[in-house]
Structure 1
Amino acid sequence: MGDVNASKTLFRRVAAVAAAAVAVIGLAGCGGLTIPADPDGTLQAVSDGELRVGVSPDPGLVTDRGPDGGTPTGSLPDLVEGFADSIDAEIEWTEGSEETLVGMLERGDLDLVAGGFTSDTPWIDQAGITRGYPEIEGADGREIVLLVPLGENAFLSAVERYLDEEVGSR
């Protein structure tokens, strides 16, 4: 009886391994499945292209663009410029209120939003958020996050890898 049970157990294990192998092979054939993925292709679109960034002024992090509509200044715009350089992207800046910028992000008019957003942001249902970064200059202990389009996980991962290298993660 022991040999029969051992044979059944061995058969079940071999069957489970074979099923797992078939599943992996099947997924590999699904158009080059990449994880994390960007359903809308944000990372691919902005790399060697244009990165559309919304900024909301916040003392210590982002100063406004001034009357001439120039480049915003501060620690967050500096980080965004560094990220853009790392993916060979040119930045198109848009300044606005948080609500306006999140709406633009949801509509696909922006790729990234920076401002005084913290890990407690109320926009979590409308945007993807990075991990919190309390070490950003001007954060004053707040865990600052950047916003990205919902579901664009490869882009989110690229932004976080850059921020991890530049300011460290929590």
Structure 2
Amino acid sequence: MRAERFTGTVTRTLVASLLGVALLGGCSATIPTDPEGTLDRVTGGTLRVGVSPNPPWTDLPEGTGAEPEGIEPDLVRDFAETIDADVEWTAGGEEDLMGRLEDRELDLVVGGLTARSPWSSHVALTYRYLETVAADGQKELRVMAAPMGENAFLVELERFLLTTEVRP
């Protein structure tokens, strides 16, 4: 009787697994995916980026029409080039920009963020693209912020960051 119970359990598990694979195989879904279509929208379109001043990572020069400067704006421009996107910059404070990112008004926020960011429960932080050491000797893992759940966009951005050499 134990053998029959075991065989029945194995058979049901195997059938359920095969059914799951068949259903996934029959779907045209791609993984990772963006529920809001961020990567599809920005590819060949416009990447909306929030930038908060935090030199040398980000700097906002004075003057009408002046574009952000610094390590991260340069990275963003290089990334945008890989997906044939124009960059639309929005300058502001970190709190305002993170709120706009959560509301999907922005696609990305930069500003010298670290992996210890208090925003990590509200937005998706990229994998670290650079490790630095703060004045107090603590390690800082540099990241950027993207909308929560937009995984195809996040993977494309992380792929770019991981293959790009960044120097502070």
Shift of the alpha carbon at 1:33? 2.1
Q: Which residue of 1 aligns with 2:81?
A: 85
* Aligned residue identity for 1:82: D
Is 1:21 aligned with 2:2?
no
1:155 pairs with 2:153: yes
- SS, match of residue 34 in structure 2: coil
1:134 equivalenced with 2:109 (yes/no): no
- Identity percentage of aligned residues: 43
Corresponding residue pairs, total: 163
Tell me what 2:53 maps to.
57
Deviations 1:44-75 (A, max 9, x none): 11011110001111111111042223211111
Q: Which amino acid aligns with 1:111?
A: D
Which whole-Å CA distance do the structure 1 matches of 2:11 and 2:63 have between them? 70
Q: Which amino acid counterpart does residue 165 of structure 2 have in structure 1?
A: V
- Once the two structures are superposed, what CA deviation does each residue of 1:123-154 show, in whole Å capped at 9, x if it has no partner? 11221111123348x98852111000111111
In the TM superposition, 1:87-102 aligns within 5 A as 87-102=83-98
Relative to total residues, which structure has the larger strand share, 1 or 2? 2
Provide TM-score, normalisation by structure 2: 0.85
Out of 69, 76, 80, the position equivalent to 2:72 is: 76
Decide whether aligned partners of structure 1 residues 139 and 162 sit closer, same or farther in structure 2, where only a CA change above 3 A counts: farther
Q: Which runs of 5+ in 2 are unaligned?
A: none
Rg (Cα) greater in structure? 1
State the shift of 1:12 in Å. 4.7
State the TM-score, normalizing by the size of structure 1. Answer: 0.84
Which residue type is aligned with residue 145 of structure 2?
A: L
Distance 1:156 1:139, change over 3 A: farther
Distance 2:143 2:101 in 1: 15
Q: CA deviation at 1:164?
A: 0.2
Residue 26 of structure 1: CA displacement? 1.7
RMSD: 2.4
